[in-house]
Amino acid sequence: MAEEGTHRHAGVIALLGSGETAALGREAFVQVFRRLQQPISVAVLETPAGFQPNATLVAGKVAEFISHRLQDFSPRVSVVAARYKGGPYDTDAPALANSIAEANCIYAGAGSPGFMIRQLHDSRLLAAMRQRHANGAALVFSSAAGSRDEKDALPPPSVALTAEHYDRIARMIERKQPVRLEFDIQSRLIDDSKDSYNVTAELPGTDKKDQLIMIGAHLDSWSFGEGATDNAAGCAVMMEVMRLLKTLDLKMQRTVRIALWGGEEEGLLGSKAYVADHFADPADMKLKPEHEKVSGYFNFDNGTGKIRGVYLQGNDMMRPVFDAWLAPFKDLGATTVTIRNTSGTDHLSFDAVGLPGFQFIQDPIEYGTRTHHSNMDVYDRLQASDLAQASAIVTSVVYHAAMRDDMLPRKPLPKPAKRGDRKN
């Protein structure tokens, strides 16, 4: 954000990403606010609960903090903590547009998801400069800046900076040194092929072979790095599970099917399409014959870390089942069975139509600080011993699920969902 730009632009400044209080509260930005010559309305836009459970509280605290820091600034600064409705990728577009429709200067904090940027095409915004916290030089994270839907307008250009580069700009602005930023952005729409693919394979069962245990991870990856922890690690674990089951020549009652999903990063597209084709569409909840044949689905998509437990997704009937399955692995650290939900990956597609779908709890390792959607998501960051632990645990869980007398207990069927009510 250039110094001359801060003088030229006035009106509303939109602060996106309330989760990053430190970034929003930088002294450098406070100084930028002070130098504007017109009243400022600061909108602190809350991250939905699916991304950050305490987002409402954080948004209010950030608004309170900024108000306090600028209380002696004239003209007056008004600060509003705006709230999104719904869950991940379920934005209230009209409310968002009303909150920042007149913004022509934007600071997007490190925690702001890409969908916040996507809705800005109606404002007089030229670009969004996004600072990301880093655990080392040359580490860059990036979120999606635009929609995959051809009907949506093209978003403004956005740039992700390392923390070091961002801090240098901030220091120069603090010292009243002119800042000029020049970017060579060469963007293009890749529309030569609009297809995405799922890869499936299975080990046929015996006397209950028409019933399914499914496991999965996603085959696509983010544009940075090599996609090693997101999600080649998950694919490797689930493929190893199938190899172990095959090599041990275990005769399982139920069929075990692996699915490596395409289009997960664009919104679970592969798993959602598969579920809609085979089991049910959450939009109308008309069950297909295969729906009653699925016992459960197990997912691995939180980096390279070892398994520490499992999220029940609100299905407490599964607690004694997982307690028994994980008991032999307590010495390996797999001890937690929580009623909590977790979002952002393919088990949601199954859960959305009333099928038991679960994501394992994993050690974070460097997932949120170094590798997730970054240019450092490379092979070197994988932990072979952790992936081996995960493979052993998932193999055991799948075997017991395939051999269980009864199918896994299910939550009540959900009501038909409006489009956009779930992660799309």
Q: What is the CA radius of gyration of the chain?
A: 24
Which among 250, 13, 240, 39 has a CA at the least distance from the CA of 108?
13
**pLDDT reported for residue 369:** 86
**Range of 142's domain?**
3-174
**pLDDT reported for residue 187:** 75
Asked if residue 230 belongs to a domain, the reply is: yes
Residue range 145-157, pLDDT digits in tens: 677 777 887 777 7
- Which residues in the chain show pLDDT less than 50? 1-29, 32, 37, 43-59, 62, 73-97, 99-135, 137, 420-424
Query: Same domain for 204 and 156?
Result: no
Asked if residue 418 belongs to a domain, the reply is: no
Number of domains making up the chain:
2
Asked if residue 421 belongs to a domain, the reply is: no
Query: Of 174, 207, 242, which marks where a domain is finished?
Result: 174
Query: Same domain for 156 and 206?
Result: no
Query: Same domain for 119 and 235?
Result: no
Q: What is the overall mean pLDDT for the chain?
A: 76
Q: Phi and psi at residue 166, in whole multiples of 5°?
A: -60, -45
Query: Same domain for 166 and 220?
Result: no
Dihedral sign computed on CA atoms, order 121, 375, 361, 349: positive
Asked if residue 244 belongs to a domain, the reply is: yes
Query: Same domain for 99 and 247?
Result: no
Asked if residue 160 belongs to a domain, the reply is: yes
What CATH number did the domain enclosing 134 receive?
A: 3.40.50
**pLDDT reported for residue 294:** 98
Q: Tell me the C-alpha distance between 284 and 3, whole Å.
A: 52
Residue range 276-286, pLDDT digits in tens: 999 999 999 99
Query: Same domain for 330 and 245?
Result: yes
**pLDDT reported for residue 24:** 37
What CATH number did the domain enclosing 373 receive?
A: 3.40.630.10
Tokens of 408: 């896994």
Token pair 């692996």 in the structure block, residue: 258
Tokens of 57: 């509280």
CB neighbours of 411 closer than 8 A, spacing ≥ 6? Answer: 313, 314, 315, 317, 354, 356
Report the DSSP pairing between strands 12-16 and 40-45: parallel
Asked if residue 193 belongs to a domain, the reply is: no
Query: Same domain for 274 and 207?
Result: yes
Asked if residue 186 belongs to a domain, the reply is: no
pTM of the model: 0.71
- Beta-sheet strands, E only, within 76-205: 77-82, 103-108, 128-131, 158-161, 199-203
Query: Same domain for 40 and 122?
Result: yes
Query: Same domain for 230 and 265?
Result: yes
Asked if residue 424 belongs to a domain, the reply is: no
Query: Does residue 244 sit in helix, strand or coil?
Result: helix
Query: Same domain for 154 and 254?
Result: no
Query: Same domain for 263 and 334?
Result: yes
**pLDDT reported for residue 82:** 44
Query: Same domain for 166 and 203?
Result: no
